[in-house]
């Protein structure tokens, strides 16, 4: 039996024994060529399989994995596979808890987690921490996952990368050495196209200081509106800059307090139509005309701390004082922009407490600034109120505190659910504190079967999941 | 009694949803009562109705019973209870009456099935068999003609690329009571234009089927084991009576590897068992409706003591387990690629239609050339891996270190099904 015979049989079968009489057919006259072909192929095929000899390919050696310094949480393997298979919404909680407890995910989940990291860029750091040293070793072996580990080669990326890589490179340098990052940008500034100039300038927000003032002020005269806008936003955050001073003058001349017989009042005047650098800003001010929008943006260029110093009133008090003034919404929006732009936690928390009664579109921007501790009281108040703002609760992706969970259950399971009734039971189950299960199950009315089903499915799993990680992490 | 781990318990779940639901109910607070006497575990699961569901497990098999209305088997209550048992959260107790009643029924049923059955009318049986053989013979004659037509026209002919071409003739084989040939024809159809070397693969399949048609046309002239193999390839079912009188093989059998696939809305499980005393491999084929667990439940990495009756054939592999007793897990057999290839040659010489052959490779590592992945044994001999192998999962689990791999060899590629690493068996 020769390899040539098999090749000849295969070629003949492909073309068709009827089109070209195979040479082997001449050896057995009287038997049709098709029978000969199939018979010989049967014999050859079996002999090929039976006589298969191992080949000796040149294999690329696989580097050994590093030692894993953190304990692998084997006990949570089943949980993790179930989360990966069908409960991805709880996966982030699992990973966060594992990283917090300094344990790593079992290896059998690594490839699925690394695939997830490719899709969820925002969770990459968390996932790479959760898979540990061995998971990162695995990522290094698979070209598909290499990008997860790619360290930024600052110089090379800055010199020859695309916009994204160059921005990452500059950002990375800015975090470690703000001065060098600014100098690097200054060097290339004249040659950069407008999109690059605007994007790179925004990077200076990290580590922003008075030293950046010269470059930013130069950018105020740029021909690109986007560059000018970024420059204004950043300059107003540098105390003493010309833009900051101009913002203060315009804001405090438009919004001022005065004493009257009935107490302190607020006076609001729109700014003039004269052009200012703030005209380039584009923050949304719903329902406002051109001048009103301009005023809101200027108010947003003054920090909450300066508002308090100038007026002697806190952010919450100012909110209340504008009352039903004609431009009340304009001022409120300006104060929101101020809290967001200056990342002022106490201002954000004050706004949140006010928004408990009247949610605003800017809520998702403000929430990241709010500390869990700072809002728990307000959250409980929100739950206990009958306000339509209740579904705002879902803006927290983190699990709720025990107190907030208890308050939620007391309300949600009562006949007078109010707006909480709009909340999907499964959404609540993903946030409730799992320790609240016993009381939840005891008090759940029988007519809420769907709720019961959903909670029975999710809450015990979360409880088990968290307990398993914590128990095994402490071993 | 085997030490069951939670992942082994969950491997019994008929589907992912049941496993998930089982996990959800594996919480003592969901049960009005729980207990075990080492032979049975039982519990009363709180449901939405007034009365709790009574759930019990005969731990020796395991076998499940539950009073809930679920059509899944085992149901979530059975799985939940078993998970609790596997986590040592079920306390010792005296068996309640309802569990005792079930136990007695099981004993009675087992005694009943052990009794020899009334033989059916041998004349009628022979008539039926002859009629079926006539149908098969006619069908296989058509099949032989069809195969010849196919190679006469050429495998590159456009009609071969149409699934309908294969499906219609495969249906003819179903009518001819030759389901094994039907399945192979459909597989052949899927190979057309499936990538480099497809024509050779189609020719191999066509030739093997042609060999069956030729063998069946002169069945009477063949020795009995080959006749049995030909019938098995055609898909003629083996009745329990056919196995009576055959010498069983007793051993401690390791559930070494499993492959599960769907076909025509049924689930098929091929389980490879390895006998530690006899050093024999055996294959148990189980079929279940979708959503149902396989019976008997066989879980990778477990060992049980049983008599196995091998189906007749030139190289007997398929077997049916009889009564069994579970034992603790054990290490897999040691083997090398060369040893396996020697055995495979002998097996093919005895039965040329073997589609999958059991392999255990000790201290196996993975390696890659420019095109594909290989498994390399301790002697440095390698086998190409099936392209569907989840290589990255395997590398993650083994950490690139040598591990025991168990799986199937088809004469072309190796398909790993189980990896044993850190003294744990894992299905791949």
Query: What is the helix (H) or strand (E) element at residue A403, kind and residue range?
Result: helix A402-412
* Residue among B223, B219, B211, B216 nearest B184 (CA): B211
Looking at residue A416, its pLDDT comes to 75
Measured CA to CA, the distance from residue B368 to residue B383 in angstroms comes to: 11
Q: Give per-residue burial for B240-274: e unless 16+ CB within 10 Å, then b.
A: eeebeeeeebebbbbbbbbbeeeeeeebebbbbbb
SS3 state at A243: helix
Measured CA to CA, the distance from residue B12 to residue B4 in angstroms comes to: 11
Same domain membership, residue A340 and residue A214: no
Question: A-chain residues within 8 Å CB-CB of B390?
Answer: 111
Percentage of the residues of chain A whose pLDDT score is greater than 90: 23
What is the number of residues in chain B? Answer: 428
Same domain membership, residue A158 and residue A137: no
A91-118 mean pLDDT: 91
| B421-425: long-range pairs with CB below 8 Å, 24+ | B421/B397, B423/B331, B424/B301, B425/B300, B425/B301, B425/B329, B425/B332
Same domain membership, residue A246 and residue A365: yes
pLDDT tens digits, one per residue of A396-415 = 656 778 888 888 888 787 77
Residue A376 domain-assigned? no
Same domain membership, residue A357 and residue A415: no
Where is the domain boundary, A370, A397, A423? A370
| B170-177: long-range pairs with CB below 8 Å, 24+ | B172/B139, B172/B142, B172/B143, B173/B139, B173/B143, B175/B135, B175/B139, B176/B135, B176/B136, B176/B138, B176/B139, B176/B140, B176/B142, B176/B143, B177/B132, B177/B135, B177/B136, B177/B139, B177/B235, B177/B236
Q: What are phi and psi of B371, to 5 degrees?
A: -115, -35
Alpha helices for A312-371 (secondary structure H): 315-321, 328-341, 345-355, 363-366
Q: Are A299 and A255 in contact (CB under 8 A)?
A: yes
Where is the domain boundary, A189, A207, A235? A235
Residue in chain A nearest B338 by alpha carbon: A54
Question: A-chain residues within 8 Å CB-CB of B80?
Answer: none
- How high is the mean pLDDT of chain A? 82
Where is the domain boundary, A95, A128, A149? A149
Residue A296, both tokens: 């809101």
Residue that wins the pLDDT comparison between A365 and B342: B342
SS3 state at B416: strand
DSSP 8-state assignment for residue B72: S
Cross-chain residue pair B392–A142, CB shorter than 8 Å: yes
Q: Is the bond into B150 cis (omega within 30 degrees of 0)?
A: no
* Residue among B264, B284, B263, B265 nearest B275 (CA): B284
Q: Are B40 and B59 in contact (CB under 8 A)?
A: yes
Same domain membership, residue A140 and residue A111: yes
A246-254 mean pLDDT: 91
How far is CA B253 from each of CA B19, B334, B365, rounded to the nearest angstrom?
Answer: 26, 15, 26
Looking at residue A187, its pLDDT comes to 92
Q: Are B302 and B2 in contact (CB under 8 A)?
A: yes
pLDDT over 70 (residue A151):
no
Q: How many CA atoms lie within 13 A of B184 on its CB side?
A: 26
Same domain membership, residue A115 and residue A159: no
Q: Are B306 and B277 in contact (CB under 8 A)?
A: no
Residue A188, both tokens: 């290339």
Residue A68 domain-assigned? no
pLDDT in tens, chain B (428 residues): 446 777 778 778 877 778 877 877 887 778 888 999 888 999 998 876 678 889 999 887 788 888 888 877 888 899 989 988 887 778 888 889 899 988 888 888 777 766 666 666 778 878 888 899 999 999 999 999 999 999 999 998 888 888 898 999 999 999 999 999 999 999 999 999 888 889 999 999 999 999 999 999 999 999 999 999 999 999 998 887 778 888 889 888 889 999 988 887 788 889 999 998 898 999 998 888 776 778 777 888 888 888 888 988 888 888 877 666 555 556 778 888 999 999 999 999 999 999 999 999 988 999 988 788 999 998 889 999 998 999 999 999 998 889 999 999 999 999 999 998 877 788 88
CB nearest to A16's CB, from B157, B344, B392: B157
* Helix orientation angle between A124-141 and B391-398, rounded to the nearest 10 degrees: 100
| B189-193: long-range pairs with CB below 8 Å, 24+ | B189/B160, B189/B163, B189/B165, B192/B155, B192/B160, B192/B161, B193/B161
Same domain membership, residue A224 and residue A265: no
Measured CA to CA, the distance from residue A224 to residue A228 in angstroms comes to: 6
Looking at residue A62, its pLDDT comes to 83
Cross-chain residue pair A15–B27, CB shorter than 8 Å: no
Tell me which residue range forms the domain holding A36. Answer: 3-50
The C-alpha angle A373, A377, A380, rounded to 5 degrees, equals: 125
Residue that wins the pLDDT comparison between B384 and A89: B384
Query: Nearest CA of chain A to the CA of B207: how many Å?
Result: 4
Same domain membership, residue A248 and residue A337: yes
Beta pairing class for B373-376 and B53-58: unpaired
How far is CA A100 from each of CA A84, A126, B118, B409, rounded to the nearest angstrom?
Answer: 20, 10, 68, 45
B48 touches chain A (CB under 8 A): yes
Residue A128 domain-assigned? yes
End-to-end CA distance of chain A: 64
End-to-end CA distance of chain B: 25
A429-449 mean pLDDT: 73
Residue A348 domain-assigned? yes
Q: In 10 A of CB B52, how many CB atoms?
A: 18
Alpha helices for B235-388 (secondary structure H): 240-243, 337-350
pLDDT over 70 (residue A475):
no
B6 touches chain A (CB under 8 A): yes
Same domain membership, residue A134 and residue A170: no
Looking at residue B148, its pLDDT comes to 93
Looking at residue A5, its pLDDT comes to 85
Residue that wins the pLDDT comparison between A265 and A202: A202
A3 touches chain B (CB under 8 A): no
Which of B149, B158, B395, B398 should one mutate to test binding to chain A, selecting the residue with the greatest count of A CBs within 10 A?
B395
Question: B-chain residues within 8 Å CB-CB of A41?
Answer: 203-204, 206-207, 210
Q: How many domains would you assign to chain A?
A: 5
Cross-chain residue pair B345–A50, CB shorter than 8 Å: yes
Residue A242 domain-assigned? yes
Kindly report the pTM of this predicted structure. Answer: 0.68
- List CB contacts of B282: < 8 A, sequence separation 6 or more: B249, B253, B272, B273, B274, B275, B308, B310, B317, B318, B319
Residue that wins the pLDDT comparison between A282 and A448: A282
| A54-60: long-range pairs with CB below 8 Å, 24+ | A54/B337, A54/B338, A54/B341, A54/B381, A54/B382, A54/B383, A55/B382, A55/B384, A56/B380, A56/B382, A57/B367, A57/B369, A57/B374, A57/B382, A58/B369, A59/B367, A59/B368, A59/B369, A59/B374, A59/B376, A59/B382, A60/B367, A60/B368, A60/B369
Which of A46, A58, A436 should one mutate to test binding to chain B, selecting the residue with the greatest count of B CBs within 10 A?
A46
Same domain membership, residue A215 and residue A250: no
pLDDT over 60 (residue A25):
no
Looking at residue B1, its pLDDT comes to 47
The residues in A 116-145 lying below 8 A from B, measured between CB atoms, are 134-135, 138, 141-142
Residue B295, both tokens: 């019976």
Measured CA to CA, the distance from residue A4 to residue A193 in angstroms comes to: 64
Q: Which of A29-38, A458-467, B101-110 has the lowest mean pLDDT?
A: A458-467
CB nearest to B24's CB, from A48, A108, A461: A461
Looking at residue A327, its pLDDT comes to 84
Q: In 10 A of CB B26, how many CB atoms?
A: 27
B107 touches chain A (CB under 8 A): no
CB nearest to B6's CB, from A50, A78, A142: A78
A113-124 mean pLDDT: 87
Residue that wins the pLDDT comparison between B83 and A121: B83
Cross-chain residue pair A60–B369, CB shorter than 8 Å: yes
pLDDT over 70 (residue A374):
no
């Amino acid at each position: 039996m020769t390899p040539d015979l098999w090749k000849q049989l295969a070629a003949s079968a492909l073309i068709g024994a009827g089109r070209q009489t195979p040479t082997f057919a001449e050896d057995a006259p009287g038997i049709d060529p098709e029978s000969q072909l199939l018979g010989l192929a049967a014999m050859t095929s079996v002999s090929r399989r039976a006589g298969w000899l191992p080949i000796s390919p040149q294999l690329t050696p696989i580097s050994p994995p590093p030692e894993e310094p953190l304990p692998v949480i084997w006990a949570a393997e089943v949980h993790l596979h179930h989360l990966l298979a069908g409960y991805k919404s709880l996966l982030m909680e699992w990973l966060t808890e594992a990283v917090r407890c300094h344990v790593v995910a079992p290896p059998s989940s690594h490839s699925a987690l690394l695939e997830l990291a490719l899709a969820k860029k925002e969770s990459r750091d968390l996932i790479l921490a959760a898979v540990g040293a061995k998971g990162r070793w695995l990522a290094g072996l698979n070209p598909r996952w290499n990008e997860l580990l790619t360290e930024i080669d600052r110089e090379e990326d800055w010199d020859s990368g695309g916009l994204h890589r160059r921005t990452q490179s500059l950002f990375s340098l800015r975090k470690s050495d703000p001065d060098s990052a600014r100098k690097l940008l200054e060097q290339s500034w004249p040659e950069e196209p407008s999109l690059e100039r605007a994007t790179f300038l925004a990077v200076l927000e990290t580590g922003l200081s008075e030293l950046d003032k010269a470059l930013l002020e130069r950018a105020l005269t740029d021909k690109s509106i986007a560059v000018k806008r970024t420059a204004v936003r950043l300059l107003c955050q540098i105390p003493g800059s010309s833009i900051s001073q101009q913002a203060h003058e315009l804001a405090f001349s438009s919004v001022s307090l005065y004493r009257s017989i009935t107490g302190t009042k607020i006076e609001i005047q729109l700014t003039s139509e004269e052009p200012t650098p703030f005209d380039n800003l584009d923050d949304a001010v719903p329902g406002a005309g051109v001048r009103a929008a301009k005023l809101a943006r200027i108010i947003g260029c003054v920090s909450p701390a300066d508002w308090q110093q100038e007026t002697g009133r806190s952010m919450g008090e100012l909110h209340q004082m504008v009352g039903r003034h004609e431009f009340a919404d304009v001022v409120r929006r300006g104060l929101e922009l101020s809290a967001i732009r200056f990342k002022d936690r106490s201002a954000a928390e004050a706004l949140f407490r006010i928004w408990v009664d009247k949610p605003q579109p800017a809520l998702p921007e403000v929430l990241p600034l709010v500390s869990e501790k700072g809002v728990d009281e307000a959250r409980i108040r929100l739950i206990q109120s009958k306000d339509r703002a209740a579904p705002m609760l879902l803006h927290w992706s983190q699990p709720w505190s025990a107190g907030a969970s208890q308050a939620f259950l007391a309300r949600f399971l009562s006949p007078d659910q109010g707006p909480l009734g709009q909340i999907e039971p499964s959404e609540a189950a993903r946030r409730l504190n799992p320790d609240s299960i016993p009381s939840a199950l005891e008090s759940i009315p029988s007519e809420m079967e769907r709720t019961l089903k959903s909670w029975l499915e999710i809450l015990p799993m979360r409880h088990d999941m968290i307990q398993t990680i914590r128990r095994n992490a402490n071993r | 009694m085997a030490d069951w781990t939670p992942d082994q318990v969950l491997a019994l779940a008929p589907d992912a949803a049941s496993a998930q639901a089982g996990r959800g109910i594996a919480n003592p607070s969901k049960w009005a009562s729980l207990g075990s006497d080492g032979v049975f575990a039982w519990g009363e699961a709180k449901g939405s109705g007034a009365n709790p569901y009574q759930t019990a497990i005969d731990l020796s098999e395991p076998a499940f019973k539950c009073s809930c209305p679920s059509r899944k088997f085992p149901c979530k209550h059975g799985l939940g209870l078993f998970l609790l048992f596997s986590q040592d959260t079920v306390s010792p107790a005296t068996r309640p009456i309802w569990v005792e009643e079930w136990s007695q029924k099981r004993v009675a049923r087992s005694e009943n099935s052990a009794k020899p059955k009334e033989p059916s009318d041998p004349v009628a049986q022979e008539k039926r068999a002859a009629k079926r053989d006539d149908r098969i013979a006619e069908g296989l004659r058509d099949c032989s003609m069809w195969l010849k037509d196919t190679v006469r026209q050429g495998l590159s002919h456009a009609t071969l690329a149409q699934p309908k071409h294969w499906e219609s003739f495969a249906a003819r084989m179903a009518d001819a009571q030759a389901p094994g040939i039907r399945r192979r024809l459909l597989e052949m159809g899927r190979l057309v234009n499936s990538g480099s070397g497809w024509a050779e693969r189609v020719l191999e399949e066509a030739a093997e089927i042609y060999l069956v048609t030729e063998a069946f046309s002169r069945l009477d002239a063949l020795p009995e084991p080959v006749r049995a193999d030909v019938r098995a390839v055609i898909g003629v079912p083996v009745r329990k009576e056919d196995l009576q009188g055959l010498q069983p093989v007793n051993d401690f059998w390791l559930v070494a590897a499993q492959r599960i696939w769907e076909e025509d809305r049924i689930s098929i499980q091929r389980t490879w068992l390895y006998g530690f005393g006899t050093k024999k491999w055996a294959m148990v084929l189980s079929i279940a409706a979708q959503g149902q667990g396989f019976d008997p439940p066989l879980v990778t990495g477990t060992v049980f003591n049983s008599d196995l009756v091998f189906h007749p054939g030139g190289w007997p592999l398929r077997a049916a387990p009889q009564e069994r007793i579970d034992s603790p897990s054990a290490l897999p057999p040691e083997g090398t690629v060369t040893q396996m290839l020697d055995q495979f040659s002998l097996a093919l010489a005895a039965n040329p239609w073997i589609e999958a052959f059991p392999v255990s490779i000790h201290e196996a590592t993975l390696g890659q050339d420019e095109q594909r992945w290989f498994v390399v044994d301790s002697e440095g001999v390698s086998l190409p891996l099936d392209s569907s192998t989840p290589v990255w999962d395997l590398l993650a689990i083994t950490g690139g270190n040598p591990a025991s791999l168990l799986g199937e060899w088809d004469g072309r590629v190796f398909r790993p099904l189980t990896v044993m690493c850190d003294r744990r068996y894992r299905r791949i």
